[in-house]
Every structure is written in structure tokens, then in C-alpha cells.
Amino acid sequence: MECDKCDREAVMNAAYSGAHLCEVHFCRSVEKRTRRRIRSDALIPKDATPDEPECWVIGLSGGKDSVVLTHILDETFGKDPRIEMLALTIHEGIEGYRDKSVEACVELADDLDMRHELVSYDEEFGVRMDDVAESDPLNMAPCAYCGVFRRDLLERYAEEFGADKLLTGHNLDDEAQTALMNFLEGDVKQVAKHFDASLGSFEDRHTQNEFVPRAKPLRDIPEKEVALYAHLKDLPAHITECPHASEAYRGEIQQLLWDLEENHPGTRHSIVAGYEELAKLAADEYRGAGEADLNDCENCGAKTSGTRCRKCKLVDAITAV
């Protein structure tokens, strides 16, 4: 099959768009869709100037998604004096797996000459995920602990490094899964919160002052295309899956979406587009609901509905073992 735009051999055929693209035109298309998303999300405020630049902290795990995001952001804005970028990597204490991906992060940041910061569960909480997966004091999936710790560190350090926004590498498949899971959960207030925290255009979002708002510039790009881009550009991505990964429900949803996409190309795109539009309506409706009840955690000061935040409770349970 030939490329739609030149006479080179196509490396990718997208059923959802009908596009056949060669290596060069495929990579350009990924970059173009990412830049278009950054524009339509209004990620760069109009008042950003070289004297008062916009600061982006990029969550860099070393997996293909965050590596591709970091690469494209650097290509696009690396020389833009209105934008400052730094990459933040979190070491969960997973032997082998994370050591390898940290190497990938260091290599990429080095190649791009980008500031790189590394923080670990061990240094921050005295916790290593290998031990948590083993002891599992609350009898839940390792990902459940890990997600709470990661979110805490990303938010805390993004703020410490003066970030205006925290950018993560979530792709179209991730977002379609989350959208469907939230929808099936039936918690509309959660959907409303999701919008202001990490979806849609910054012109429509009401971002609170307590935490750094998130953005996901790769959320129009299917996972397979992110992987192909990383491969074609020979980026130092670490592909292996986490040895503790066990989000069974997300796995079911993923399979469901693959099956739907196979028979109805474009399903992921339409789920994500429709979900964002509904989430915006929900956010407009529910904004502010329940926020007045939040306290500061007695131990770490994070916002919580009780007296001690979820992260501190988890650390308590783990260190009590």
C-alpha cells in the first residue's frame, strides 16, 4: 500500500480515518495532532512572555507514552522562550523494571538537554512497591497503592518546581478506558471533577489554586500509533509492563474497546469526544459542590475530606506491617 501523500510505502493504515501513511507522513501526522490538541486546549496562555514564561512539568515514566510526549514537546517548544520545561520521574521501588525505565528517562533528558528530576517512594515515604506488593496490608491491587503515591508526588513536586501545568502522556486508549469506567461507575460528580482536573480547554476549565492542573496532549493518538512513533524515531522508551500490574477491571474494559474498535472503527475517538463534552456540562453544573468540606491532612497538609489523607493512611498501614 502506498502513502496517501507521497509514493513511499505506507507503514500505518488507520481504519478509523482511512489514512495510509509512510514513515515521514505518519510521524508528521502524530506531531500535527499533538500540536493541534495543545492549541485547542489553550495550553499556552496569551500572557506568557520570555520574562514570565509558562512552566510545564512533564511526568516522564520512561514508557513509550511519556517519552513520545517529551520528545514532541521538545521538538515543538524546546526553543520557545515563552515555555520552560522539566521532566519529573518517580521511582516506585520496583526492582529491574523501574531501574531500566529510569535509565531511559536519563538518556532522553540528556539527549534533549532538558532538566530532569527524580523522586522515589523510598525517600519520600520509606516505602518500596516490591515490598508493598508482597505484604499487601489492605488486601488490594498494588496499582491502588501506587496510584495514590504517584499522584501525591506528581502534584507535590510539580508545585515545588513552580509548574503552571503538569503534562502527562495519556493516549487515546487510556482516555477512552477511563471515560468508559467513569461512566459505568455512574458517579457524575467524579466526572465533573475530572473535567476541571485534567480535561478540555483551559478556557473552559476552572482550575483551583490548591493543585497544579493537568493536561494530556496525546489523548487524540491511539496507543498503537504512539508505540509506532517511538519505534520509528528510535526513542529510548522502556516497553516492558510493570510486573505488579493487575488492574483487572481496566483490562476488561480495554478488551471491550478493542473489540468495538475492530467492528466499529472510530469508537475510541467518539467516546472520548462525547465524554469530554458531557464532563464539561457536568462540571458547569456541579462545580464547587462538596469542596467546602475539605480539611488539611493532620500529617502532611494535603486536602482531604477526613482528618488524615488517603496517602498517609496507606503509608501508616504499610509501615505497621
Residues in contact with Zn ion by the rule CB under 5 A? 3, 5-6, 8, 22, 25, 297, 299-300, 302, 309, 312
Min separation Cβ 317 and Zn ion, Å = 13
Cβ 153 to Zn ion shortest distance, Å: 12
The angle subtended at Cα 265 by Cα 232 and Cα 11, nearest 5°, is 20
- Please choose, from the candidates 167, 274, 276, 174, the residue with its C-alpha nearest in 3D space to the C-alpha of residue 224: 174
Is 4 or 277 the residue whose CB approaches Zn ion more closely? 4
> Least Å distance between CB 26 and Zn ion?
8
Q: Residue 288 in 3-state DSSP?
A: coil
Surface-to-core class of residue 81, CB atoms within 10 Å of its CB (0-12 exposed, 13-18 middle, 19+ buried) = exposed
Q: Residue 60 Cβ, how far from Zn ion at the closest point, in Å?
A: 25
Looking at the Cβ atoms of 219 and 311, the one nearer to Zn ion is 311
What lies within 8 Å, CB to CB, of 152 at 6+ separation is: 302, 311
The Cα–Cα gap between 94 and 143 comes to 12
Q: Which is nearer to Zn ion, 119 or 278 (CB)?
A: 119
Residue 59 CB, shortest distance to Zn ion, in Å, is: 21
Q: Is 70 helix (H, G, I), strand (E, B) or coil?
A: helix
DSSP assignment string, 165-178? EEE----HHHHHHH
| In 15-138, alpha helices (H) | 23-40, 64-77, 97-112, 121-125, 129-135
Choice between 69 and 153, CB closer to Zn ion: 153
**Closest CB to Zn ion among 81 and 147?**
147
